[in-house]
Structure formats: C-alpha cells, structure tokens
Structure 1
Amino acid sequence: MDFHAALGTERLVAIIRGQDAEASFRTVMTLAEAGIPLIEVSLSGAGALGVIRRARAELGDAAWLGAGTVLTAQDARDAADAGANLLVTPGLGAGAEESVRLGLPVLAGVLTPSEVIAADALGVTALKLFPAAVGGPAYLKALRAPFPGLPFVPVGGVDATAARAYLDAGAVAVGVGSPLIGDAADGGDLAGLRRRAAEFTAVCAG
C-alpha cells in the first residue's frame, strides 16, 4: 500500500516525542500491536534515530515508520539511513527539499495558502496543517475551498473530538501526539495507551 492509500485508509498518524528512548520504542511497538500502522517518531525526542532503527528491525520493511521534526537535509538523510520510510517536517525548507529528493513520502508542514502552493510545487506527498489548533476545523474547511484536491493532515492539539471534526471538514487523516501517547513515551502507562489507541482508532474509522 502506498502512503496516499494508507493515509486514506487508516486516517490516523501517531506521533511519538519521548524523553526516554526505551519507553519510546515500547510505545512504537504497542501502537503497532494495537493496529495503528502509521507511526512517526520525532527527531526531537531522546535517541530517536535509534528508536527508528530498532523498530524497523522488529516491524519489517512493510511498516510505515516515520521520522518527524525533519528540519535539515542531514536530518532527512539520517532518518532514511535509520530506516524511516516517511519523513515529516514542521514547515518548508531544506529538510522538506531533501526529503523529496530522496524519493520518500513527505508530510510537509504548512499553514498559509502560500505555503500550500509552495509545498505542492515542491512535490510533497501530503500537507501537514500545523499548528492546526490555530484555526481549527473551520480553517481547514476554508483552506480546502481553493485546494479541494490536496490531502491535508491536521496536527497540533488534536484530541478525539477534534479528530472527528477535522475528518468531517475534509482532512484525509489526522496526526495525534500527546492526546494519544500520553506519558507512555516517557515511561508511563502502556495500558492507558492501549485504551486511547482503541478510542482514536474507532473515531478515525468513522
């Protein structure tokens, strides 16, 4: 399944930004076991490249395992070397440009119409509307009017209620960090993570 198809089918990207590398790895594996196959590990978290490398070895080549907070060209190359097959940026710039050059799926951060036009021209795979909470679902709906065919993935402050509202407003998927992950990536409760994973999976399934 290509990334476009995976986004449209799953409609949920889990975002891990942990300060405990071992806990972050356990979080990746728990999410995968819970049936969430689109997982992003932020490079701003502790030992992120090592987490990606270990998770890739465990999950195999078919899993969608992304690197987030890709800011520089070196970030993109390092993430690809670690086994990431999805690169996620908070905005446009060298990280997004190198990610596209590498030929991997790219979820690039945008907020304004001008950034949407620039990202589409760059050839990114999907548009990470970030920080989505600035405008909420109403802003996404307004933004989709001039760009009806582009795949938007709102990220930032997306809880279960907001996830449903964004999907209803036309998002192809949502990206969810702390409302889903909680404290799991910092050594917290995995049972709670499993409960939240089931909740978000149900919401995003419609």
Structure 2
Amino acid sequence: MTGEVGRVALPQHTVDSRLVVVARAQRAEDYDAVLAVLIDAGIRSVELTLTTPGTFDRLPHLLAQYGAVADLGIGTVTSAIDLARAADAGASYLVTPITSPAFVAQATDAGVPIVPGGLTPTELYASWSAGASAVKIFPAGQVGPGYLKDLRGPFPDLVAVPSGGVDLDGASAWLAAGALAVSVGGPLLGDAFAGGDLVALRDRAQAFVEVCAR
C-alpha cells in the first residue's frame, strides 16, 4: 500500500521520540515558558494549535529557539488557507482533526507531512490511501488500543498516532499495540498553561518521555 501514493515522511524527532505534546494555550505568549520546560525535559515534538490566538505570529520565534532540537508542528488546521500559511511558516508537520483528502494533497504538494484525524475505518483509510504521513485516531479515548490491532487486520500498513485522552498507561498500551507515536495533551500538560507548577510539569514530561522511549 505504501508504494501506491506519494507520502511525505514524518520528521525524525517525532518518529524517534514516539511522543507529540499538544500545546493548547490561551495565548501564544504562554508557549515560551512551557516549551522551555518541555524541551528541557526531553520532549522533541510539540503541536501548536490554531485555537491559540497568535500561533502563526509566534511560530518563527519558537522555530528559531527550538527548531534545531525539536519538531514544531501546527495543529487544528481546518482550512486550506491556514494549511498553506502553516506550510509557508515552516511548520515541521501539520495536524487536522478532520478527514480531508484535499488537505492531504495540498500538504503533500507543499512537501509538508500531514496527520489527518478520523475514527472510523472509512475515515482513516480515506486519509491513508490519499497519502497522509500518518493518521490520527481521534478521539482515541473512546476506542482504546485494541482498536488499532483490529484496524491492522484490513490495513496492515496503516501508520497511526492516537490522540485524545491518552494518559501515561494509555501511551504505553497504544505503543505496544503498534502506534507510531502518541499525541498527548491534558494528562501531560495539566494546568501548566494556567499558571501551574512547572516543576511538576517537568516531572510529568520526563515520565512520558521515559514511557515512550524505544
């Protein structure tokens, strides 16, 4: 299956670390302190979401600071305009919560990896067969790691990244089930974007890094 379509590979930091942290902040200025802790703790892939105002404006600064050691992707991409803007801004990869072969084609033409979301076999296969770099099983908490094993029956080559409700135990279980990586938000970030304890954030991040290490 993988030889049938053009497919842009996910960046190496993401593949090697097997962990993507979804950073959904209230303001783009809040990224700085949290990302500093995450990168220091060993996180090597962060998805910055477009639900955070100012993400596009902040991306060049963050890429200059961390781009050499970590992949910085743009997530919650829901329009062709935002997809083009994210690609032009230098995002390491793109994540969309929806199934859109048109988005996959647009990202592939731009040479940027894309991970579209989906839950049903039809949705996930539509993205994968269109040339997605991987597919995001979302919301993963509604199905569990056994779902990926079931999908591997008809789709043995499917490259999947579960997202939504993945905690520390879930990360281990999804990776054992064959996920390329896990996408983690609240269970790792906690209240970090609301003034929470950054020492505790570092501890949580290090725990996830350890669980996801090959």
Total equivalences in the alignment: 205
Cα deviation, residue 124, structure 1: 0.9
- 1:154 maps to amino acid: P
Which residue is 1:82 aligned to? Answer: 89
Which residue is 2:3 aligned to? Answer: none
Cα deviation, residue 158, structure 1: 0.3
Cα deviation, residue 63, structure 1: 3.3
The two structures have a TM-score, normalised by structure 2, of 0.88
Which residue is 1:133 aligned to? Answer: 141
Which residue is 2:153 aligned to? Answer: 145
Cα gap change, 1:72 to 1:95, in 2 (>3 Å): farther
1:32 is aligned to 2:42: no
1:48 is aligned to 2:55: yes
Q: Which has the higher helix share?
A: 1
* Structure 2, gaps ≥5 residues long: 1-8
Alpha carbons 1:88, 1:107 under 8 Å: kept? yes
- 1:107 maps to amino acid: V
> C-alpha separation between the residues in 1 aligned to 2:162 and 2:175?
9
Cα deviation, residue 121, structure 1: 2.2
1:131-166 deviations in whole A, cap 9, x for unaligned? 111111121221122112221110000000111111
> C-alpha separation between the residues in 2 aligned to 1:19 and 1:126?
28
> C-alpha separation between the residues in 2 aligned to 1:185 and 1:96?
31
Cα gap change, 1:36 to 1:99, in 2 (>3 Å): same
Alpha carbons 1:70, 1:95 under 8 Å: kept? no
1:105-130 deviations in whole A, cap 9, x for unaligned? 11111211111221122211011111
Alpha carbons 2:75, 2:94 under 8 Å: kept? yes
Cα deviation, residue 188, structure 1: 2.6
> Which of residues 62, 69, 75 in structure 1 aligns to 2:76?
69
> Which of residues 167, 180, 187 in structure 2 aligns to 1:159?
167
> C-alpha separation between the residues in 1 aligned to 2:15 and 2:88?
27
Cα deviation, residue 21, structure 1: 2.0
Q: Secondary structure at the match of 2:25?
A: coil
Q: Secondary structure at the match of 1:136?
A: coil
Which residue is 1:170 aligned to? Answer: 178
1:45-64 deviations in whole A, cap 9, x for unaligned? 23222232220121245631
Tell which deviates more after alignment, 127-136 or 79-88. Answer: 79-88
Which residue is 1:105 aligned to? Answer: 113
1:199 is aligned to 2:207: yes
Cα deviation, residue 40, structure 1: 0.5
- 1:49 maps to amino acid: F
Alpha carbons 1:31, 1:194 under 8 Å: kept? yes
Alpha carbons 1:108, 1:119 under 8 Å: kept? yes
Tell which deviates more after alignment, 187-196 or 162-171. Answer: 187-196
1:36-80 deviations in whole A, cap 9, x for unaligned? 111100111232222322201212456311000011111112222
Once the two structures are aligned, what percentage of the paired residues are identical?
Answer: 45
Q: Secondary structure at the match of 1:108?
A: strand
Q: Secondary structure at the match of 2:33?
A: helix
- 2:191 maps to amino acid: D
1:164-186 deviations in whole A, cap 9, x for unaligned? 11111111110000111112223
* Structure 1, gaps ≥5 residues long: none
Shift >3 Å, 4+ stretches = 4-8, 60-63, 94-97
